[in-house]
Structure 1
Amino acid sequence: MKKFLGLLIVGMLFCMSSYSQIIEPVKWKVSMQGEGNEKEIVFHAYIEDGWHLYATDIPSGGPIPTSFSFDDISNVSLKGDVTPSKRPHEEYSALFDMKLGWYNSTIDFKQTIFIENPDSFKITGYITYQACNDVTCLPPTKHEFSFGESKTPTTTAPVMTPVNLNTNSSSNLTSQKGWQPVVEELRAMSTEKLLQESSLWFIFISGFIGGLLALLTPCVWPMIPLTVSFFLKKQQSRHKAIGEAILYGLSIIIIYVGLGLLITLLFGASALNDLATNALFNILFFALLVLFAVSFFGAFDITLPASWSNKLDRKADTATGIIAIFFMAFTLVLVSFSCTGPIIGTLLVEAASWGGTLAPAVGMGGFAIALAIPFALFAMFPSLMKQLPKSGGWLNTVKVILGFLELALSLKFLSVADLAYGWHILDRETFLVLWIVIFALLGFYLLGKLNFSHDSPIKHVSVPRLFLAIISLSFSLYMIPGLWGAPLKAISAFAPPLYTQDFNLYNKEVHAAFNDYNEGLAYARQEKKPILIDFSGYGCVNCRKMEASVWTDPVVKQILENKYVLITLMVDDKEKLKKPITVTENGKSVKLTTVGEKWSFLQRHKFGANAQPYYVIINSDGEPLAAPYGYNESVAKFIDFLQKGLKAFNK
């Protein structure tokens, strides 16, 4: 058991940590098929789970579509256009305000050609595409291919596509001051490395908090002293009773983690990842959470058939040893379902929406650990049970509080569906009004001004209820300025984006002084300031989140505007360079034709990364001053990142 838990923890930490590196989620295989002079070129794309490849017919103003260019054609004619083997999945994108199509898993594109002279023909070209997941978008990428007189295809490895330079050689570009690679320096100077913010930590902590809340429900709280007393009285040896109680707690953990793994096996990791933006599932989640909230308000109880718990109870009585303890734990899980079910359901919904193979299991692990700790703790120190508050009406109050929280959380999922379909029934101000009312009602309930039929009479307001009421009512007041455009950073992960609000008085955004790397270097050299490079993209959702929730902080804004030269480089900028630039990368010759391709090449060549957002601090010679920084909406951590760069520069 100790080995199992150790492996589980190590696996969780490994999955929650990822270092800055080149990511290649789409791999291509290009082949020529058919007999005679008329053939087909088949472009087969392998797409990793959680990623998607945009379709070929993306409207203007959207992300980069998948396109096929043919450069050198000799004794070959193209018949028709490149056609996909299946229709793309389509959804409305609130970020681009349009319906977008993309492919998951695999997709074939086909181009029919007619070879006029099979003994001497040539056709070369490249695929331009962009891959995205729910966290980041990679810059536009090129994959080159060619078919020549040997009748065998020649394809290159995927090459990431990257103001204007009057140069067309790789040596002229990479030999310029500030373009030299600093990948090894970045690795050596940081003990932290560049860790991406992982949703698994959020899921685990959410599960742990959910487990603590479940302990305070009427179905679980009274079971703690009863169960612990049973183990202590059952055996002559108190040491053995403690051991069995600990096994009882471990059994609870195994049951709930097994439930999380079962969810993954039933749906699959990629399916769970797709739930994050699937409108139908988000509507179902919304309805499910409203149902849970109504249950917690006391309209009805969600219970499993009594025959299930009775059968397990009989198994526990007839079995012996570890098996008996396991069946007792399973009985507790079923008996307490009316209270824990809504919490578990909410947790699984949240885990599914975040996606990932381990998310449900990690969430259930956090929930079960919090639930199991009291049973083992009180078995070791039974005298502590005398200090537990007695069961009573306060347990029902906890259920009602959870009902209000479930109701508020359900609106998050309705918001996703609303954005997907473009209904505009839950824009930001509407969402905020509903949350303001929900948390105000919660405050009034805690003060005894609102009662449900199954509530116990309140003769006076206790100190804990008073403080909880103050927190709830204060939170309602905090959200009111959001109706006029205040950013409300505390709930930015839940509320609809600010651009969905009709009336907005907020205008404190931060804008980069330069969008050209060389110009920014020259200015920093003149002003003797450090440089913050912001590798971004027009289609990068998390870049916008960082700009809205972190850069607008007064301290961050002051540092960026006064202490640094801020350079924003858009890796998906489709503006054409004055002259194409030919560079050598991974042993291949690559032609850079757009501004975005140039900045993407800079990020890969100099810093060894290709995901956005990506922030790096350098001096005017291009030397790094601090470890790079990725997507993390912690203002304190970003300020610390900026201060480290200033400290190193001042030395």
Structure 2
Amino acid sequence: MKYIVSLMSAFLLLFGTAAVAQEPEATPVHAKWEFSAEKKAPGEFILKFKAKIDQGWKLMAASMGDDDPNTRIVFDSLSDSRAAIQALADVKAPLSAQEPLLDNMEIKYFENEAEVTATIKYNSDSIKNLRGNVTYFVLKGEEILPEEAPFTFVADAAGNLTGEEGGLKADAAIAERIDRKAVDLKNPVMKVGDIGKEGNSNPWLIFIFGVIGGLLALVTPCVFPMIPLTVSFFTKSAQDKKKGITSAVTYGFFIFLIYLAVSLPFHLLSSADPAIFNNISTNVWLNVIFFAVFVVFALSFFGLFEITLPSSLASKTDSKADKSSIIGIFFMALTLVVVSFSCTGPILGTLLASAGSAGSTNGAWMLTAGLAGFGVSLGLPFALFALFPNWLNSLPKSGGWLTSVKVVLGFIELALAVKFLSNADLVMHWGILHRETFFLIWIIIGLLTTLYLFGVIKFPHDSPIKKLGKVRIFFGILFAAFTLYLIPGITNTKYSRIKLMSGFAPPMSYSWYGNNAHENGAVEPDVMNDYFKALALAKEKNKPVMIDFTGWACVNCRNMEENVWTDPEVHSLIQDNFVLVSLYTDDRKKLPEEEQFKYTHAEGWSKKIVTVGDHWATFQRVNFINQSQPLYVLITPDEQLLTWPVAYEPDIQKYADWLKAGLEGWKKVNATATK
């Protein structure tokens, strides 16, 4: 388990990149491919992939091992069992040589030209199109590069296949469904609204969460014993008291600085795509990975094993800390950060995920704010205790209570893990974590935490409890009360709307009791996820359209729906006066193949439109210059903007006033039309 951080980094790189890729599919630079097919028998084909390789480059052979640089054919279409690959082979024998760049491993490769064949057999009598990519490695000198070439094999009426270059193509007709020329963002009918408002997260609120996380980290066994030891080291080893205090304060500042520096790479990522944090937070497999990682963290907190960073890293940083200089103090701070990871890692992971799930275009700043708060609360005590060394005498002694803190944090990690799994479940519509299931799991976790705090259940590494302390009793009662508070969440009653869990638990409609359950003031969309049907319905009913840019995993979208839309006045304004359409920007359902294409904006950026979420997220970005969710837009059936859009607005009266302004704009438009 000690390499968990490396694994997390790899997964973040892999799945985070997959989540945020907005560029056109990569065009092979060093190999040009041609595709053809030969019919071997009914339903069986030999697919041929011929490559012309740039001068001086080597293309790795298909006969190379799966764990080595190689050439492979990856079919997108095989997942639906329409065909199965039977064999992959090089047409001619490849060259071979020892490659110094790969530790003198013997490689098999081609120069100038190559041909690879894949024998496939359809699983039914129906011959369908095949799509996929040739993935391959090319090598020259000290460069070894992964590349890919998309392809499509098109089936005709006679049951033959014709190969052609694949990948998503530009489609002007479909692109018009995204770029709505009638929408004029600069000139709404009513000059009200606030499109620039980033309502998904308040950086100060995230900063406070970071401070709380740092305070939790302080009372863990990895950090708490270090406070008196470190402060005493600085104050006693220094030549004078002033220098000792200065060193301790510098040490605390470096702890803050190190955590702050962790957020810097995310600013570079966010500049690549304004939707990066929303894409990361709603990426299905990244959420599943976070679920698994948090379960691992919880089990570690329960004492089943210990998570540590590689010992070599800790040793290297510790060796640098021996220097009695400002550089040495920095490495002492870095050593604390590294060796305390087994306790701070889960808390930092929660902070990272929380900043990402904000889903706003300033997610990098949210992360910076959170890590700054974490660093402040973790580094400040070292400075304060150096300034006021007598305070050290008031600190409680290390002991079994620290182990109890870790176990409680373990239960909290389990509860957070369920949230990540819920995000993936909502986006993919798996149906495994309905609202009531979510609450039931949390109730069980809350009950187990309560029983642990009152000493009913124990872990093998726990110290014997002779008498329950006041603090333990207080937190036991607190967890018991919260658990009781959650119980109505599993019922189909008017009490099932748990306000403290709004936005955190699945939406009311995602229920054991069906989509029509929990009707306590909910506003259901007239048209779900189809903007053009909403326009048609609005023309038929002579009503304006209210667009709700939302997300299955959007916390503040649920807050608005469950706490603002349920207000009687707001509910009536929406339901009686607008055609409501909810457009889910994180919906991972794939569009029909004929609707998938590559959209290129006039400013030069491109995006692959493959899923429903891709379509509506790009639609929002192009027409309303905004990527945050929720975002609310009021337009006429002819797409004239009635007001400026608004984002997250928890003030019920302000939100109601904005809706009324939209209706005033609608009356003006109608009055003008009748003149």
State the TM bucket, normalised to the shorter chain. Answer: 0.5 to 0.7
Q: Answer whether contact 1:231 1:241 (CA < 8 A) is retained.
A: yes
Specify which of 335, 341, 351 is matched with residue 337 of structure 1.
Answer: 341
Specify which of 279, 285, 289 is matched with residue 290 of structure 2.
Answer: 285
Question: Are 1:438 and 2:451 matched, yes or no?
Answer: no
- Whole-angstrom distance in 2 between the partners of 1:606 and 1:143: 16
- Whole-angstrom distance in 2 between the partners of 1:234 and 1:263: 39
TM-score (norm 1): 0.57
SS at match of 2:408: helix
SS at match of 2:567: helix
Specify which of 399, 407, 417 is matched with residue 406 of structure 2.
Answer: 399
- Whole-angstrom distance in 1 between the partners of 2:646 and 2:563: 17
Specify which of 218, 221, 234 is matched with residue 231 of structure 1.
Answer: 234
CA displacement, residues 424-481 of structure 1 (integer Å, 9 cap, x when unaligned): 4444333322211111111122222222233233344333323322221222222222
Could you say if the C-alpha distance between residues 611 and 458 of structure 1 is closer, same or farther in structure 2, counting changes exceeding 3 Å? closer
Query: Residue 629 of structure 1 corresponds to which residue in structure 2?
Result: 646
Q: Answer whether contact 2:284 2:428 (CA < 8 A) is retained.
A: yes
Q: Answer whether contact 2:314 2:338 (CA < 8 A) is retained.
A: yes
Letter in 2 for 1:245: A
Query: Residue 210 of structure 1 corresponds to which residue in structure 2?
Result: 213
Any gaps of 5 or more consecutive residues in structure 2? 1-21, 26-75, 78-127, 135-147, 155-167, 528-533, 585-601, 603-616, 665-675
Query: Residue 510 of structure 1 corresponds to which residue in structure 2?
Result: 523
Could you say if the C-alpha distance between residues 475 and 399 of structure 1 is closer, same or farther in structure 2, counting changes exceeding 3 Å? same
- Whole-angstrom distance in 2 between the partners of 1:495 and 1:305: 36
Query: Residue 488 of structure 1 corresponds to which residue in structure 2?
Result: 498
Q: Give the share of equivalent positions with the same residue, in percent.
A: 39
Question: Are 1:615 and 2:632 matched, yes or no?
Answer: yes
Q: Answer whether contact 1:215 1:221 (CA < 8 A) is retained.
A: yes
CA positional deviation for 1:386: 3.5
CA positional deviation for 1:372: 0.8
Residues 310-325 of structure 1: pairs in structure 2 closer than 5 A: 312-317=317-322, 319-325=323-329
CA displacement, residues 347-386 of structure 1 (integer Å, 9 cap, x when unaligned): 4566677786677666544432221111122223334333
Query: Residue 387 of structure 1 corresponds to which residue in structure 2?
Result: 394
SS at match of 2:456: coil
Any gaps of 5 or more consecutive residues in structure 1? 1-24, 29-54, 57-80, 88-105, 113-127, 130-140, 146-156, 163-169, 525-530, 574-585, 587-599
Specify which of 196, 200, 208 is matched with residue 197 of structure 1.
Answer: 200
SS at match of 1:535: strand
Could you say if the C-alpha distance between residues 572 and 84 of structure 1 is closer, same or farther in structure 2, counting changes exceeding 3 Å? farther
- Whole-angstrom distance in 2 between the partners of 1:277 and 1:603: 17
- Whole-angstrom distance in 1 between the partners of 2:262 and 2:629: 35
Could you say if the C-alpha distance between residues 541 and 341 of structure 1 is closer, same or farther in structure 2, counting changes exceeding 3 Å? closer
SS at match of 1:550: helix
Query: Residue 471 of structure 2 corresponds to which residue in structure 1?
Result: 464
- Which stretch shows the higher mean deviation, 421-430 or 509-518? 509-518
Could you say if the C-alpha distance between residues 336 and 500 of structure 1 is closer, same or farther in structure 2, counting changes exceeding 3 Å? same
Letter in 2 for 1:477: L
Could you say if the C-alpha distance between residues 639 and 429 of structure 1 is closer, same or farther in structure 2, counting changes exceeding 3 Å? same
- Whole-angstrom distance in 2 between the partners of 1:460 and 1:217: 21
SS at match of 1:440: helix
Could you say if the C-alpha distance between residues 294 and 228 of structure 1 is closer, same or farther in structure 2, counting changes exceeding 3 Å? same
* CA RMSD, 1 decimal: 5.8
Question: Are 1:367 and 2:374 matched, yes or no?
Answer: yes
- Whole-angstrom distance in 2 between the partners of 1:423 and 1:648: 37
Query: Residue 302 of structure 1 corresponds to which residue in structure 2?
Result: 307
Query: Residue 642 of structure 1 corresponds to which residue in structure 2?
Result: 656
- Whole-angstrom distance in 2 between the partners of 1:195 and 1:449: 46
Query: Residue 551 of structure 2 corresponds to which residue in structure 1?
Result: 541
SS at match of 1:299: coil
CA displacement, residues 213-233 of structure 1 (integer Å, 9 cap, x when unaligned): 110112211211221222223
Query: Residue 51 of structure 1 corresponds to which residue in structure 2?
Result: none
Could you say if the C-alpha distance between residues 269 and 350 of structure 1 is closer, same or farther in structure 2, counting changes exceeding 3 Å? farther
Q: Answer whether contact 1:351 1:359 (CA < 8 A) is retained.
A: yes
CA displacement, residues 174-222 of structure 1 (integer Å, 9 cap, x when unaligned): 9xxxx9x784789987899522424977765544332211101122112
TM-score (norm 2): 0.55
Q: Answer whether contact 1:253 1:369 (CA < 8 A) is retained.
A: yes
Aligned residue pairs total 484
Query: Residue 328 of structure 1 corresponds to which residue in structure 2?
Result: 332
Could you say if the C-alpha distance between residues 107 and 368 of structure 1 is closer, same or farther in structure 2, counting changes exceeding 3 Å? farther
Query: Residue 251 of structure 1 corresponds to which residue in structure 2?
Result: 254
Query: Residue 557 of structure 1 corresponds to which residue in structure 2?
Result: 567
SS at match of 1:502: coil
Query: Residue 17 of structure 2 corresponds to which residue in structure 1?
Result: none
Q: Answer whether contact 2:564 2:570 (CA < 8 A) is retained.
A: no
Query: Residue 567 of structure 1 corresponds to which residue in structure 2?
Result: 578
Residues 110-189 of structure 1: pairs in structure 2 closer than 5 A: 143=172, 160-162=178-180, 183=186
- Whole-angstrom distance in 1 between the partners of 2:252 and 2:366: 22
CA positional deviation for 1:570: 4.1
- Which stretch shows the higher mean deviation, 552-561 or 244-253? 552-561
Could you say if the C-alpha distance between residues 464 and 207 of structure 1 is closer, same or farther in structure 2, counting changes exceeding 3 Å? same
